[in-house]
Structures are given as structure tokens and as C-alpha cells.
Structure 1
Amino acid sequence: MIPGTTSPSGDGGEGFVEAAVRTVLTAADDEVDVTVGQAALLLACANADSASEHVVRQWRRATGRPVTRLVPDALTARAWAMLFAARGVTPDWAGELPPLDLDAEEHAHRQHLAGVRRRPGVEATLAELAAQAEERAEAGDVPGAREAVATWARVARDTPRPDMATLAGCRRVAVLLTEGALALPESWVHAYADSLVAALHTRYPVDAMGSSWPELIDEILHLRGMPDTAPPPASNEALAEAERRLGVVLPDSYRRFLLTCDGLPADVVFPRLLSVSELTTRTTEDGVGVEVVIAEPSVLLLRPTSGEVLEHDPVFGVSVHRDIRALLEYHRRLLEASTGAVDHLDDTGAW
């Protein structure tokens, strides 16, 4: 079933999500990989690139298996190649896939469509609609092509595993898909991706330290429903200037954070992390040392010598985190455990 539409049972796609999660949790590894690959392709076809790439990254992190397991056949490889070409951007993970001759693939796909259209049942109907969309787009009838895609979606919504690869393998249809011809509700996209990622983490537990700094920041922002909003990294020159201005040496973990992103937006349960130019110091309570104020409001204080971060909470008092990374990993775990991990910022962006 294509989610985002109403199924015969009226579940609006929930059964689709539940089936995918159940497969990830209980099926053999080969079936897990097929399900994750189909999910990533569906999200990409729905023009939800960030969610698609998030699922792939988390699957790779959880399983350590090669990406080729998500692209098990020539048809799926063709679909991804057409989408990448239409978008003009190829994600890093796709570097493991062999390059394809798109002209040759277009010819092969026409033959594939002709073969599938001769089969009985809904598979032939979907192939016929995909072919119609491609033919209309090639003739310059973009509205007609988009209508054929919409009809394809209405037919596919009652199919447990719609053949996304046959649709996306159409070269001109792939362009329409990257323009939103098969857009799904954003809330469903986040729920689908996050449910699969949570299932992957349950099936394949991973030490949080295994993720790189960029991955950790990307995961936090995705869980907040704010993908691709990380500030640009600070420069080494800016860090050196801040250390001269503050009179302290910033600990390695905090430097790596700033070299990944220069601060972090606020979340309803997390303050805004300051950029390097905004950092200030204050004297410790015992009057002996200094602490670096790293958040607004100033509820997070960095101890330069140890790298520890003190979190001041009006209810729970002071918590000590090993370093900035430990604090952010704790924040990520809270987001993963939350059922409302999307749209945490208030209207003003304030904490």
C-alpha cells in the first residue's frame, strides 16, 4: 500500500509501517535488507531525500553490511541511477554502486515495461501506468504524466509492496518524482523513517560512540524534525581566537563539536548551544577556576580542564556529563524515546 492515502481499512498507512517494522525486527537478514532498501527507495521516490538517506545511514551503521545488499538487482540499481541523475546529486553511500550507462538503462527499462505489461494482475496495471507517465512526459505532456503517476499511486495503495523500481526506472518519470509528483505527508515520512530506524536499533544494538560527529548531529536534527539545519563548522582560526579571548584551552571533544557545527539550534527540551564567537567565561562557585558558558540560557557550563559539561536544571539540580559528546548522546536518546520527536522548536525558536 502506498502510505499517505486511505487504505480499505482506513488505517492511513499504519499497517504499512507496522509490517515493515515487524520484518526488520523478526525476519532473516536478507529480508531485512530488502525491506530497508524498498523503504529508502519509496522515500526517495516521494522526494523525501533526507529521510531516505537517514534510513540508509542508520542501516549501514547498525549492520555494517555493504550498500549493494539494498540494491539487489539491475532494476533497483536502474531506479536509483535515474533518481540520482534527475536530482543531480548522488549521496555518499551510493559510491559503492557501479556506474550505469543511462541511455542503455533507458532502453533496457522499455523492454522491462513491455514484459511486465503482459503479465496478469495489478503488476501489469502499474507497469502500464508507469509507461503512460513516461510516454506523456516524453511527449511534453507533463500534466498528463503527473496524472498518470497519481493514478499509479491510487492503484498501488492497495499493494503490500508496490513496485517502486519499475516506476522510478522510467527516466522522465524519475524527474517528476524529484519534483514531488508522488509527495507523501511529511508527518508520515518522519514516522515511517523513525520507526524503521528504531527497529534497526532494537534488532542491531550499536554503541552510540560508533557514530561520527557529523552523523551524531545529523541524527539529532533529524529526530527533531529539522534535517539539514546544522550551522556550518567553525574554523580553526576562530577556535584559536576564542581561546585567546577566553584565556582557556578548549577540550578536544568540544573542539571537535565546533569543527562539525558552530553551535546548535534550541529544542524545547534543550538550550541553544552557542557559536564559538559567543562563548564567555565565568568564575566557578569556589572562586578558584573558570567555566565556559556554552548555552543560552546559561544552563550548560564547560569545565575547560576536564572537558566535563555541567547541566543546571531547576528541578533536578546539577548533572555532570563526561563531555559535550556525552551530553549530546543523552539528548539523542531522549529524542529517540520520545513519541513526538518532530517539530520541537516553538514559534520563536527559543528554548
Structure 2
Amino acid sequence: MTDEGGYADDAVRKVLTASDEGVDAVISTAALLLACAGASAQSDRLVRHWLAATGREASRLAAEPLTARAWAMLFAARRETPDWAAELTPLDLDAEAEAHRAHLAKESRDPLRALAAEAQAAAERDDVEAATEALGRWAERAGETKRPDVATLAACRDVAPLLVDGVLTVPEEWARDYAGTLVAALGARYRPERERGGWRELVAEIMRLRGEPGAVPPPASPAAIADVERRLGHPLPADYRAFLLTCDGLRADVVFPRLLGVAELAPAAEGIGISDPEGIVLRPGTGEVVEWDPVFGTTVHPGIRALLEEHLRLLEASA
């Protein structure tokens, strides 16, 4: 299964920007997709992170009858119900299978529904080869779609065991990265309250999680800060000054650019460029820090501390 339709990026954008109900729907679909791709462990991981980040009830992932049916069929095929799903209402699988036959029989222009119906019919008559071939075509079409209707596929009672057994298995790295990207997006959307320590503690914890304990860069001098303020023609925001007085810039990490030292600061299109490569800009009038990311898009942080706390949170999630 490929991602030519860009549903991973689309899912991340929705987690960051949609309503809470929209986020729940995205996570439910993504978790179902992982479960259908033979990655039940990553599916469960994503759901557990969603529960921890939002504090909401698992029943919200099965709010629609079709979605509830899909989860019920997958759990039956797995012969176990994961701990996170213990509160979901048990369903009569015979009645749900009959209801799903009616759903598949409805007139639709969605080719994925037609392929799901074809796979279900073949699996029902024990023609595993034909069912597998139909599922392969379903995966190809799904890879071209931003929001594939995975619930309709997962709710097929005779297809669910094939899915759980790995007929549509994706590379382990893809499943782990897909779930991990959404976990990171959930963390960005639902930031936990953090006990605020000092600047030194914040930067020291960042360096520790980067694997460089005790490697906090030396601070900039007040004279150097005053000099750059004269050169730029205006004072630096208070929290950015506090950052520079803690460390004069910050080395790059794997997914985080280098923050410039005070002597390197220069005017940029929307303020002062503070990173190398370019992509992070300080707005001196408001203290806001604007970050551009190819996946998450443009993010406006209230200040440099908020940017570094977000970096710390992502390091914690990776650890």
C-alpha cells in the first residue's frame, strides 16, 4: 500500500487544524488503516496516545455505526479486544454482518466500496485467492486517495481475518513512521501543561535528550546583545534576550535547525532570521517566532521559549 494520495500529510493537517470531532474521526480512520495493513500494534499505539493526549473516551472512535462495526469485526478477527477498547459497546456480529451486506449493496460511485464488496463475496465463498487479488486492487486505489473509506473494508466480516493476518501488510517502518507522525501531531495539538523551570533547565533538558548532557552552549554577553540591538535598530524581545543570555545559539538536531548566535542575527523578510537553514523568524515587535515546516506548514509561536518547549516535547515523544 502506497501513499500517493498524500493521506498521511492530509491526516496531520487535520489533526492540527480540525475540530475535536474532526481529530477523532482522523485518528479512528488512521488507526483502522493501520489495523487493516497488518499493523495492529501501531494502531493500538496511536489510539493510546490519542487517549492520553485528549483525555476523551474511546467510544468517540466508534461514534458512527459503520466505524463501530469495523472495529468489532477486526477485534473478532484478532480474537482479542485491546485494553483501550474495553469500554466499547459489544455488538451482535451476525446482525452487523447482515447490515453490512445491505450497506455494500447500496448504489455507490465509490470504487473502493465495490472492491470491498468483491473481496467480501470471494472470502465468503472461501476463495482466498480471489479475495486477496481484490484486496490488492483496493490497496492500489486507496493509495491514490487522501481519505480512503477503510471502515467499509474493515467491516466485512469474512475479509477482516485476512486483513489481520497481513494480506495488505505494509513495511514496518512505514507503519511506525505513519503512527509516529500522527502521535507528534497530537502532541502539538494537545500540549500538556508543563511545570515551568528556568531557561538553563530547559536548554539542559533539550541537550540531555539529544544525547549531549552537559553540552549547553555558552551564553552571549550583554555587550554583544546591546551591539546587535544597535545594529538592527531596535531592542530584542525579553524572552529572546533571556535565551541568548542562557546560550548564544543552539546546535542543530536531526529535525531541528541551528539557532544562530547573536553575532549572526540579520534582518529577514518578516523580522529577524534566527536559524540556519532559514525557516525560523523572530518578530521583534511582538516577540513571536514564526516557524515553517514542509509537513506542518507555518506555525506561529508566542516566543522563542514556546518554540524550544515544542522541540523538547518532540524529543520526549521520540524517547
Using structure 1 for the length normalisation, give the TM-score.
0.55
> 1:5 is matched with which residue: 2, 5, 27?
2
Residue 94 (structure 2) pairs with residue 113 (structure 1): no
1:168 aligns with 2:149: no
1:96 paired residue number: 87
Task: State yes or no: 1:183 paired with 2:172.
Answer: no
Residue 22 of structure 1 aligns with an amino acid whose one-letter code is: R
Aligned counterpart, 1:36: 27
Question: What CA distance in whole angstroms lies between the structure 2 residues aligned with 1:195 and 1:90?
Answer: 25
Question: Following the alignment from structure 1 to structure 2, what is the Cα–Cα distance between the partners of residues 175 and 196?
Answer: 26
- Tell me how large the CA RMSD over aligned residues is: 2.3
C-alpha contact 2:7 2:145 (8 A) present in aligned 1: no
The DSSP-based 3-state class of the residue aligned with 1:99 is coil
Amino acid at match of 2:28: G
| Alignment equivalent of 2:118, drawn from 114, 119, 132 | 132
Which residue does 1:148 correspond to in 2? Answer: 134
Say if 2:77 is the partner of 1:82: no
Letter in 2 for 1:54: R
1:246-285 aligned within 5 A: none
Normalization by structure 2: what TM-score? 0.60
1:90-147 Cα offsets, whole Å, 9 max, x none, are: 01111111100111111000000001xx123xx1x22221111111112121111111
Q: What's the CA shift string for 1:60-91, capped at 9, x where partnerless?
A: 11111111211121111111000000110101
Decide whether the 8 Å contact of 2:3 with 2:144 is kept in 1. Answer: no
Point out where structure 1 has 5 or more consecutive residues left out of the alignment.
8-12, 210-267, 271-330, 342-351
Structure 2 CA distance for partners of 1:60 and 1:147, relative to 1, 3 Å? same
Distance in 2 of aligned mates of 1:207 and 1:84:
34
Distance, in Å, in 2 between the alignment partners of 1:181 and 1:62 is 32
Gaps in structure 2 of 5+ consecutive residues = 196-209, 213-311
- 1:61 counterpart letter in structure 2: A
Query: Secondary structure at the residue paired with 2:159?
Result: helix
Q: Which amino acid aligns with 1:192?
A: Y
CA distance in 2, matches of 1:332, 1:205: 8
Offset, 1:48: 0.7
Q: Which deviations, in whole Å up to 9, do the C-alpha atoms of 1:169-226 show, x marking residues without a partner?
A: 11110010001111112111111111111111111112589xxxxxxxxxxxxxxxxx
- 2-structure distance, mates of 1:334, 1:200: 14
Q: Which runs of 4+ in 1 moved over 6 A?
A: none
Whole-Å Cα distance in 1 between the matches of residues 28 and 3 of structure 2?
A: 24
What is the one-letter code of the residue matched to 2:116? A
Per the alignment, do residues 139 and 55 of structure 1 end up closer, same or farther by CA in structure 2, a change over 3 Å counting? same
Partner of 1:201: 187
In 1: Cα distance, 2:19 partner to 2:156 partner: 31
CA shift, 1:333, in A, is 6.2
Aligned counterpart in structure 1 of residue 47 of structure 2, from 52, 56, 81: 56
CA distance in 1, matches of 2:160, 2:194: 36
Q: Secondary structure at the match of 1:96?
A: coil
Residue of structure 2 equivalent to 1:25: 16
Percent of aligned positions that are identical: 54
